[in-house]
């Protein structure tokens, strides 16, 4: 499995973890197009916090590295790397390079 | 129609939305909704029970706080300053009073113990010193809280340290705290959810009572029919043998909590029983088992037959078998039976058993402690039934004594337990907490009798309840509950005799009993149909009090409830 695909799998694990707390209607889709922040996002602020923390923990478990998504990202910015699951995967990929 | 959803209210000084999410989504029985009260307002929420969050009439309240927000003096301890233990205890006592104030609003109040983050080393080697250390002080605060609250029958302090231990290094999560005011990692909330649901199941009487076990490679290592009992791996200087012996010790300890053991095994019965009797390292012996089905029949059918012999329901059963095929078979055929997955490694059996969340009860009564012995006595009774000719002769030979007494402090817990656990001989299946029952029984027009039963084979303990509500010269039986252990031994008639006798003594005209059907209480209406009570239609049965209700022969009644 390539690096990007591994990151995708890790992000989907984080999605699974957050979905355990959400109602079915609130579930985050496991798709790279899923919008995480901004006006079109379905996640509320708590779900986003939970997702970011879960993503960081899963990255540490899987890749053995500590990344800090919350520190670097202004979540409301339109060019935020956390805009969608896909942009987040790309951003994490650059952190690993 | 959907499953009934219970309601929980989470009162905390931190953001409890994650916990609420896990409780809502937990798919174990019963379904439960969860509402997190506005966090950081614990004292207000406890004191003002007219607040919006109470309007959902919750069944359960979880009050989870951090020590320093409730006990301000503890901040001094954290800052390594001077502090007074008396001042700390005063604050703990005030908080205990607030908690005690909500127990009548709900069926159950749960209070997780206070914790310090694992990364806080406090004073290091001095941290357990009295009057100095954070850990020492926190332990004493928790113990004070427990001692203050343990007399409240529906309030329980839960050991949250266990959740932290399981969650490990992520138990305290500074990221979640700073970004979301959530102090704990989600594994902690998952563990808490399981304990909260288990406690609530205990309160509503949904507790497993019987563990049915396979033998070969489950209770001991090896196939006894192939290798003989002398060659089984059990105990001794063998890591696998030791783990089987430990597994048996855990099972034995569960019998001391009132949980029964049974065997369903594909084996030759004589060979298997010989192993149980003769193997020197067996921890469990025949008298530890309430019953067994050892043959070559389908295991699911054997489970049904054994449960029927023991007068229990399938919803009481946990089935433990090393063979995944047998587990799948029982799981599929009998969905009410709990069939936990077992680890492949035999050395993990004990810990798998210890971690089950299905045995919680709000109290452990004398009857619980003696339950296994009661079933051994029942085997004696059945044996004597086979030897004695007619049913009448058999009943006479038992020498049954029924002792009636009112509700009191000593029998309260067992009465509540029986009321909440009994399904079959149960007129209306009314479920109540101890405080609800006490309140009900204290009403001037209410009367409640409990019945203890014994015979020449032993004491079956408190096994019957009848309660009556009197209005306008008519007595209505509210509860008519008899443990399946003593059904069909003329105790049913004895209980009706006591009620009618009382009705005559206070000049009532009629006793009524309205049967509320459930999927399980058909035995109750069958009894009423043959009791002599007249069916007035609509499941209402009646007895005119101008006529006495005969005391059955062969039962001796000691009525301590008069006066």
- Express each pLDDT in B71-104 by its tens digit: 999 999 999 999 999 999 999 999 999 999 999 8
pLDDT value of position B366: 79
Q: B35 with B56: CB under 8 angstroms? A: yes
* Strand duo B458-471 + B474-482: pairing: antiparallel
Rounded to the nearest 10°, the torsion over CA B431, B435, B437, B443 is -140
What value does the CA radius of gyration of chain B take, rounded to a whole number of Å?
27
CA distance B333 to B331: 6
Residue B330's CB: how many other CB atoms inside 10 A?
24
* Segments of chain B assigned to CATH 3.40.50.1000: 210-354
Tell me whether residues A50 and B186 touch, CB distance under 8 A: yes
Which CATH superfamily includes the segment(s) B6-203? SGNH hydrolase (3.40.50.1110)
Query: Can you give the pLDDT at residue B520?
Result: 87
**Residue B339 pLDDT:** 97
The predicted pLDDT at position B381 comes to 83
Angle between helices B324-333 and B299-309 (to 10 degrees): 60
| Lowest pLDDT segment from B202-206, B238-242, B244-248 | B202-206
**A20 with B21: Cβ contact below 8 A:** yes
pLDDT for B373 equals: 83
CA distance B105 to B92: 21
C-alpha to C-alpha distance for B169 and A66, rounded to whole angstroms: 15
Instruction: Report the chain A residue with the minimal C-alpha distance to residue B34.
Output: A21
**Element of type H or E holding B265:** strand B260-266
Domain positions in chain A: 3-22+32-96
Report the relative pairing of strands B108-112 and B60-64 from DSSP bridges.
parallel
Which of B494, B499, B409, B426 minimizes the C-alpha distance to B454?
Answer: B494
B435 within 8 A of B153, measured Cβ to Cβ:
yes
B179, A20: Cβ pair inside 8 Å? no
Of B18, B170, B190, the CB nearest to A50: B18
Contact A70, B179 (CB under 8 A): yes
| β-pair partners for B511 | B475, B543
Instruction: State the Rg of chain A over Cα.
Output: 12
Looking at B269-298, list the stretches that DSSP marks H as alpha helix, in order from N- to C-terminal side: 269-278
Query: How much is the mean pLDDT over chain B?
Result: 93
Evaluate if residue B225 carries a pLDDT over 60: yes
Instruction: Pinpoint the alpha helices (H) of B265-403.
Output: 269-278, 299-309, 324-333, 349-354, 366-369, 371-387, 391-398
Q: What residues does B476 pair with on adjacent strands? A: B469, B512
CB B516 within 8 A of CB B531: no
Q: How far is B33 from chain A (nearest CA, A)?
A: 11
Q: How confident is the model at residue B358 (pLDDT cuts 50, 70, 90)?
A: very high
Residue B314 CB neighbours (<10 A): 16
Is pLDDT at A78 greater than 80 in this prediction? no
- The pLDDT of residue B540 is above 60: yes
Closest by CA to B460, choosing from B418, B501, B413, B416, is B418
Q: Long-range CB contacts (< 8 A, 24+ apart) of B86-93?
A: B88/B137, B88/B140, B88/B141, B89/B141, B89/B144, B92/B141, B92/B144, B92/B145, B92/B148, B93/B144, B93/B148
Residue B63: Cβ within 10 Å count: 23
The angle formed by the CA atoms of residues B462, B463 and B469, to the nearest 5 degrees, is 95
Mean of the pLDDT values across residues A16-45?
A: 91
User: For residue A73, what pLDDT is reported?
Assistant: 57
Please state, as a whole number, how many other Cβ atoms lie within 10 Å of the Cβ of residue B166.
Answer: 14
User: For residue B514, how far is the Cα from the chain centroid?
Assistant: 27
Mean pLDDT of B316-331: 95
Homologous superfamily of B210-354: HAD superfamily/HAD-like (3.40.50.1000)
Token digits of residue B372:
């296994």
- Substitution target from A17, A20, A51, A57 for chain B, most B beta carbons within 10 A: A20
Sign of CA dihedral B431, B436, B441, B445: negative
Residues in B touching A23 (Cβ below 8 Å): 24-25
- What number is the average pLDDT over the span B180-188? 95
From the list A21, A52, A54, the residue facing B22 with the nearest CB is A21
Measured CA distances, B73 to B69, B90, B96 (Å): 9, 10, 16
User: What tokens does B116 get?
Assistant: 């310090």
Averaged pLDDT for residues B534-538: 91
Whole-number pLDDT of residue A14: 96
Chain B residue with the nearest C-alpha to that of A68 = B175
CB distance B178 to B170 below 8 Å:
no
What's CA B396's distance to the chain center, in Å?
34
Q: What is the pLDDT of residue B458?
A: 84
Q: Measure CB to CB from residue A22 to each of B15, B21, B173 and give the nearest one.
A: B21
Q: Residues of B at the A interface (Cβ-Cβ below 8 Å)?
A: 15, 17-18, 21-22, 24-25, 170, 173, 175-176, 179-180, 182, 186, 190
State whether A46 and B22 contact (CB < 8 Å).
Answer: no
- When pLDDT is cut at 50, 70 and 90, the band that residue B367 belongs to is confident
Please, is B548 exposed, middle or buried when counting C-beta atoms within 10 Å of its C-beta (0-12, 13-18, 19+)? exposed
The pLDDT of residue B376 is 83
Residue A1 confidence class, pLDDT cut points 50, 70, 90:
confident
Is residue B501 classed exposed, middle or buried when 0-12, 13-18 and 19+ CB atoms within 10 A define those classes? middle
In this predicted structure, which of A13-22, B479-488, B495-504 has the lowest mean pLDDT? B479-488
At which residue do the structure tokens 């192993």 appear? B275
pLDDT of B386:
77
Residue ranges of E strands in B370-504: 400-406, 425-426, 446-455, 458-471, 474-482
In this prediction, residue A80 carries a pLDDT of 78
pLDDT at B219 over 90: yes
pLDDT band at B2 (very low <50, low <70, confident <90, very high): low
CB B441 within 8 A of CB B496: no
Tokens 């919008």 — which residue?
A35
pLDDT at residue number B187: 95
How far apart are the CA of A71 and the nearest CA of chain B, in angstroms? 10
- A69/chain B closest Cα distance in angstroms: 11
Taking only the tens place, the pLDDT of each residue in B10-55 is 999 999 999 999 999 999 999 999 999 999 899 999 999 889 999 9
Which tokens hold the place of B67?
Answer: 């020590």
How far apart are alpha carbons B103 and B525 in whole angstroms? Answer: 35
Chain A, residues 20-59, CB within 8 A of chain B, namely 20-23, 46, 49-50, 52-54, 56-57
Which residue from B25, B180, B190 is facing A49, i.e. has the nearest CB? B180
Chain A positions in Cβ-Cβ contact with residue B175 (cut-off 8 Å)? 53, 56, 70
- Give B-chain residues touching A21 at CB under 8 angstroms: 17-18, 21-22, 25, 186
Q: pTM for the full model?
A: 0.80
Name the pLDDT band for B562 (thresholds 50, 70, 90).
Answer: low
Instruction: Please judge whether B173 and A53 are an interchain contact, meaning their C-beta atoms are less than 8 angstroms apart.
Output: yes
Identify the DSSP state of B3.
P
Kindly determine whether residue A46 and residue B17, on different chains, have CB atoms separated by under 8 Å. yes
Architecture of domain B389-559: 3-Layer(aba) Sandwich (3.40)
pLDDT band at B146 (very low <50, low <70, confident <90, very high): very high
Residue B59 pLDDT > 70: yes
Query: B266-319 pLDDT, tens per residue?
Result: 999 999 999 999 999 999 999 999 999 999 999 999 999 999 888 888 999 999
Cβ distance of A50 and B25 shorter than 8 Å: no
Question: How crowded is residue B431: how many other Cβ atoms within 10 Å of its Cβ?
Answer: 17
B168 to chain A: which residues are within 8 Å by CB? none
Which of the pair, B555 or B374, is modelled with greater confidence?
A: B555
Span B411-435, average pLDDT = 91
Of all residues in chain B, the percent with pLDDT exceeding 90 is 80
Within chain B, all domains assigned CATH 3.40.630.30 are found at 389-559
For B13, phi then psi, to 5°, come to -100, 15
pLDDT of residue B530: 93
Are residues A20 and B22, on separate chains, in Cβ contact within 8 Å?
Answer: yes
pLDDT, average across residues B397-425: 91
- B157 pLDDT band (50/70/90 cuts)? very high
Of all residues in chain A, the one with the smallest CA distance to B177 is A49
């Amino acid at each position: 499995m390539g690096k990007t695909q591994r990151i995708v799998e890790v992000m989907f694990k984080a999605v699974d973890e957050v979905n355990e707390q959400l109602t079915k209607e609130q579930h985050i889709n496991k798709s790279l197009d899923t919008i995480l922040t901004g006006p079109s996002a379905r996640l509320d602020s708590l779900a986003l916090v939970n997702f970011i923390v879960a993503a960081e923990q899963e990255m540490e478990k899987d890749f053995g590295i500590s990344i800090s998504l919350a520190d670097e990202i202004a979540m409301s910015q339109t060019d935020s790397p956390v805009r969608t699951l896909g942009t987040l995967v790309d951003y994490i990929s650059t952190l690993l390079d | 129609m959907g499953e009934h959803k219970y309601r929980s209210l989470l009162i905390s000084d931190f953001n409890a939305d994650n916990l609420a999410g896990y409780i809502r989504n937990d798919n174990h029985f019963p379904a439960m909704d969860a509402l997190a009260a506005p966090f950081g307002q614990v004292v207000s929420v406890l004191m003002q029970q007219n607040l919006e969050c109470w309007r959902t009439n919750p069944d359960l309240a979880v009050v989870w706080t951090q020590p320093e927000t409730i006990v301000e003096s503890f901040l001094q301890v954290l800052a390594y300053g001077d502090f007074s233990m008396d001042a700390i205890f005063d604050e703990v006592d005030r908080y205990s009073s607030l908690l005690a104030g909500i127990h009548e609003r709900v069926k159950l109040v749960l209070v997780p113990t206070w914790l310090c983050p694992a990364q806080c080393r406090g004073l290091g080697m001095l941290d357990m010193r009295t009057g100095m250390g954070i850990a020492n002080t926190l332990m004493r605060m928790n113990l004070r809280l427990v001692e203050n609250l343990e007399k409240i029958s529906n309030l329980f302090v839960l050991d949250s340290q266990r959740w932290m231990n399981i969650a490990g290094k992520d138990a305290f999560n500074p990221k979640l705290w700073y970004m979301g005011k959530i102090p704990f990692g989600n594994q902690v909330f998952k563990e808490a959810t399981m304990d909260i649901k288990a406690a609530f199941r205990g309160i509503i009487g949904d507790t497993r009572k019987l563990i049915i076990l396979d033998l070969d490679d489950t209770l001991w290592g090896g196939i006894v029919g192939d290798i003989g009992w002398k060659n089984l791996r059990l105990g001794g200087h063998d890591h696998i043998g030791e783990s089987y012996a430990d597994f048996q010790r855990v099972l034995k300890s569960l019998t001391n909590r009132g949980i029964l053991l049974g065997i369903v095994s594909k084996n030759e019965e004589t060979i298997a029983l010989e192993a149980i009797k003769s193997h020197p390292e067996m921890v469990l012996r025949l008298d530890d088992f309430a019953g067994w089905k050892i043959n070559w029949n389908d295991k699911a059918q054997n489970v049904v037959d054994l449960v029927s012999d023991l007068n229990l329901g399938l919803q009481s059963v946990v089935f433990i078998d090393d063979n995944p095929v047998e587990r799948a078979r029982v799981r599929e055929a009998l969905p009410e039976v709990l069939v936990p997955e077992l680890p492949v490694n035999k050395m993990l059996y004990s810990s798998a058993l210890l971690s089950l969340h299905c045995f919680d009860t709000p109290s452990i009564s004398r009857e619980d402690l003696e339950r296994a012995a009661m079933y051994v006595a029942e085997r004696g009774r059945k044996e004597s039934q086979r030897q004695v000719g007619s049913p009448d002769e058999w009943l006479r030979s038992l020498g049954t004594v029924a002792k009636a007494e009112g509700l009191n402090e000593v029998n309260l817990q067992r009465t509540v337990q029986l009321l909440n656990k009994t399904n079959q001989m149960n007129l209306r299946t009314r479920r109540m907490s101890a405080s609800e029952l006490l309140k009900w029984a204290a009403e001037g027009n209410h009367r409640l009798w409990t019945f203890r039963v014994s015979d020449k084979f032993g004491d079956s303990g408190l096994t019957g309840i009848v309660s009556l509500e009197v209005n306008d010269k008519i007595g209505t039986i509210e509860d008519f509950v008899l443990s399946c252990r003593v059904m069909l031994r003329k105790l049913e008639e004895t209980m009706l005799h006591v009620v009618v006798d009382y009705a005559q003594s206070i000049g009532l005209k009629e006793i009524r009993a309205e049967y509320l059907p459930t999927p399980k209480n058909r035995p109750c209406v069958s009894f009423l149909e043959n009791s002599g009570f007249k069916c007035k239609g609509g499941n209402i049965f009646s007895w005119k009090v101008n006529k006495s209700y005969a005391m059955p022969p062969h039962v001796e009644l000691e009525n301590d409830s008069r006066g």
